Structure 1
Amino acid sequence: MFLRTFGWPFAATIAALIGAGLVWGPTGFGVVLILAILEISLSFDNAVVNATVLKRMNPFWQKIFLTVGVLIAVFGMRLLFPLLVVGLTAKIGPGTVLDLALHSDHTYHGLTYAQHLEAANPAIAAFGGIFLLMIFLDFVLEEKDYHWLRFIERPLERIGRLASVSTVLALVALVLAARFFAGDRAETVLLAGVLGLATYLAVNGLSGLFESSMEADEEGEEEDQRAGRSLVQVAGKAAFFLFLYLEVLDASFSFDGVVGAFAVSDNIFQITLGLGIGALYIRSLTVFLVRKGTLDDYVYLEHGAHYAIGALAGILLVSIAHKIPEIVTGLIGVAFIGAALISSVLRNRRQPEDPELAAADQPSVAARH
């Protein structure tokens, strides 16, 4: 399974590095390799969260995620999307944006392409930060089958019984970010944050609507599967909107990486190639986690990944005014997931010998329904 899942990312890596060496020499080879490693190390939490969504999709849509989704992630989010952002925020025509991107020494109003992208950071950070914050809030406020940090999660679940509380909290966070971090860009930050919130509500809501409809149609089959680990896997419109949800999630994770990559190289093709290699591995890791049932075996991994998302959301909002090193973002994510993995391993070792722990970890009646 490992080679079947990661075989083509390995092949793509070899081909990409050989191509980088031939076109740009040893320096280009090294830059692409560094960017790929950075993308993989900073996005592991992305793979875990993706896996929690992907396991709800049928095999056909899982393949779409790993094929069409990769093309969108590599060329759409890491090449075309930054061009679009620069054009919209700086009000530059497509031809000029492309010229700036292809020639790192060219400027428009005194700024290079990388500097224009950096100037667009408040809007990017507000959109991505609020989108990720909603994912985190909806997770910690909902009733869960298992609790990792019970002293945090149980009180938050009680708060989560209030209707639309996650949306209210996200809007409060957005207003505070605009007030204390945005300065004269407050209007831009508010608009981008509201768009991030609207995108989350629209995509997540439509996916949930179609998924609920499908589950109602297959209620009998779902009852038969409750004793096992599997879920009713969705298809059609529900899977399509889950796919869109995953693509926006990937974009939210990749924003800071794309901007930060210009500290390593100002060549957009080197950046796209390096980040694209990393994206291939993250996508393949997501599929591997789903096929191995890793999230079912290590039940706190999902918690750790969502706490990492909450931390990243906060970092993005703070980065509206303050530069946060990418290494900090990556280490926080690794720390949460590492702690969750260790906790899951310890739980699996203790549970067979500890009836009280087993009972405490069983899904509640409310959660099951």
Structure 2
Amino acid sequence: MVLKTFRWAFLVTAAGLAAGALYDGWAALGIVAILAVLEVSLSFDNAVINAGILKRMSAFWQTIFLTVGVLIAVFGMRLVFPVLIVAVTAKISPVRAVTLAIDDKDRYQQLVTDAHPSIAAFGGVFLLMIFLNFIFAEREITWHGRLERPLARLGKVEMLPVCVALIVLLVAAMTVATHAHQHGGGHADKAQTVLTAGVAGLITYLVVAGLSSFFENRIEEQEEAAEEEEAEEEEEAGKAQAAEAAKRKAPGNGGGGKGGGGNGAVAALTGKAAFFTFLYLEVIDASFSFDGVIGAFAITNDIVLMALGLGIGAMYVRSLTVYLVRQGTLDDFVYLEHGAHYAIGALAVILLVTIQYQISEIITGLVGVVLIGWSFWSSLRRNARIAREAERERVRAPDDGG
């Protein structure tokens, strides 16, 4: 199972390391390996979140996520995205940005660093919305019930996550954005830039998540209608069988089936929902990749090595996502999703803080690892407790029967 799921990640690793060595020798190979480890450590919570969404999709769309999605993640977010950010923020053509990335790497790094406030605001608000919509939702299983249950009750207030996100963005614009960190250690007032980028992140979340939710609701409606139609058909069939048994005569003519059309409609609608869910997954991945792309500049400013190293890491994150889905890990360890969402909330705050202050990628990665590790340990304790209770019930059952 592990080899089957991760085989493409292993192949991409070998190809990426070989390409790094051919590109600039053994030192480049080492940089590629370090960047791959950095990306995986920063994005483990991304894999858990993705798995929670991907498990609702068909095997076909899981394959699309591992193929087309990887191309988007590797070439789109790890190669094209930094170039586009430089082009937009520096108001130069993409061709000029590519030229800088190849011929003037220091200038390119400077432009990317100066664009960080807008990147952090967009990604921070998007990730914050994911966390808020999780923490304000009611659920049967809670990790920290004393915190989550009151927040779930508050979540009944309409548009509360949006209001909280806008308040956080406004506070960030009036505080850290007024002394935004720039290349060379300087600071500049980026309040307007942060506000614009943050609102863009909020709009992106509302549009993509809204479309995904719309089609999921349509799926549920179609499934309920199909179940009702099936129940009616079974009832009619039961009546027909009763009448046939009473008459004991020649078998009646069958009425033919309607189920094929209904199933086709559900399948087609599932395709639409899956497409927008896939799009939602890609935007989530983009938001998670911001800190990895920016953090990579602490190791190298060579865009080719960054694309190779971060691309390898992205492949492992995607393979890990599919592995979690196929193994049913999220069902067995029910607090993992909670831990991942708490890590998302922490990452959103860290991104907004980094508008002014530099925070080591080691700290960012450790926060996610600690929260997910804690949730995994809590899940193990819960499973052990349930097993003990089941054993006590099993032992007590014969006595009760006697």
Which runs of structure 2 are paired with 1:353-364 in the superposition (5 Å)? 353-354=388-389
Kindly report which structure 2 residues correspond to 1:40-59, keeping only aligned pairs within 5 A, or say none.
40-59=40-59
- Residue of structure 2 in register with 1:361 after alignment: none
Higher mean C-alpha deviation, range 158-167 or range 54-63: 54-63
Output the CA distance in 2 between the equivalents of 1:97 and 1:12: 27
* TM-score normalized with structure 1 length: 0.90
1:11 aligns with 2:11: yes
Q: How does 1:104-115 map to 2 (within 5 A)?
A: 104-105=104-105, 112-115=107-110
Judged with a 3 Å threshold, the aligned counterparts in structure 2 of structure 1 residues 62 and 143 are, in CA distance, closer, same or farther, namely same
* Residue 214 of structure 2: aligned partner: 209
> Aligned partners of 1:18, 1:61: CA distance in 2, in Å?
30
Q: Deviations over 1:107-161 (max 9, x none)?
A: xxxxx10110000000000000000000000000000121001111011001101
Matches within 5 A, 1:258-297: 258-297=293-332
Mapping of residues 157-176 of structure 1, within 5 Å: 157-176=152-171
Counterparts of 1:344 and 1:220, CA distance in 2: 37
Of all paired residues, the percent bearing the same amino acid is 58
Which one of 253, 266, 271 corresponds to residue 236 of structure 1?
271
* Residue number in structure 2 paired with 1:187: 192
* Corresponding residue of 1:227: none
Is the 8 Å Cα contact of residues 105 and 301 (structure 2) preserved in structure 1? no
Cα deviations by residue, 1:303-334 (Å, 9 ceiling, x for unpaired): 00000000000000111111111111100000
Give 2:66's aligned amino acid.
L
Aligned to 2:96: 96
| Partner amino acid, structure 1, of 2:307 | T
Give the distance between the partners of 1:103 and 1:195, measured in 2 at CA.
Answer: 32
Structure 1: 5+ residue runs without aligned partners?
A: 107-111, 225-231, 359-369
Equivalent residues, number:
344
- Structure 2 segments unaligned to the other structure (5+ residues): 179-188, 231-265, 394-402
Q: Following superposition of structure 1 onto structure 2, how do residues 123-162 of structure 1 map, counting pairs within 5 Å?
A: 123-162=118-157
Rounded to whole Å, the distance in 2 between the matches of 1:275 and 1:181 is 28
1:54 counterpart letter in structure 2: L
Task: Measure, in 2, the Cα distance between the counterparts of 1:160 and 1:342.
Answer: 28
1:218 to 220, 223, 226: 223
Q: After superposition, give the CA deviation of every residue in 1:325-349 in whole Å (9 maximum; x if it has no partner).
A: 1111100000000000000000000
Residue 251 of structure 2 aligns with which residue? none
Residue in structure 2 matched with residue 120 of structure 1 by the alignment: 115
**Deviation string, structure 1 residues 230-285 (Cα, Å, up to 9, x no partner):** xx997322111111111111111111110111111111000000000000000000
Tell me, yes or no, if the aligned pair for 2:105 and 2:302 is still in contact at 8 Å: no
* Aligned residue identity for 1:136: F
Cα 1:37–1:221 change in 2 (3 A) is farther
- Give the conservation status (yes or no) of the 8 Å contact 1:299–1:344: yes
For 1:241 and 1:320, the matched residues in 2 are separated by: 31
Does residue 30 of structure 2 align to residue 30 of structure 1? yes
1:24 Cα offset (Å): 1.0
> Structure 1 residues 222 and 29, CA, compared in 2 at 3 Å: closer, same or farther?
farther
User: SS where residue 235 of structure 1 aligns?
Assistant: helix
SS of residue paired to 1:263: coil
Q: Distance in 2 between matches of 1:154 and 1:293?
A: 26
Measured in 2, the distance between the counterparts of 1:113 and 1:144 equals 46
Instruction: Tell me the distance in 2 between the aligned counterparts of 1:331 and 1:58.
Output: 33
Mapped to 2, the partners of 1:54 and 1:162 lie a distance apart of: 28
Counterpart in 2 of 1:198? 203
Q: Deviations over 1:27-58 (max 9, x none)?
A: 01100011011111111110000001111111
Q: Return the index of the structure with the highest Cα Rg.
A: 2
Q: For 1:73-92, what aligned pairs fall within 5 Å after superposition? A: 73-92=73-92
2:374 aligns with 339
Partner amino acid, structure 1, of 2:364: T
What are the within-5 Å matches in structure 2 for residues 316-331 of structure 1?
316-331=351-366
- What displacement does 1:95 show? 2.2
Q: Is the 8 A contact 1:16 1:273 kept in 2?
A: yes
Aligned-residue offset at 1:105: 4.8
The residue that corresponds to 2:65 in the other structure is 65
Distance 1:19 1:90 in 2: 30
Q: 1:229 maps to which residue?
A: none
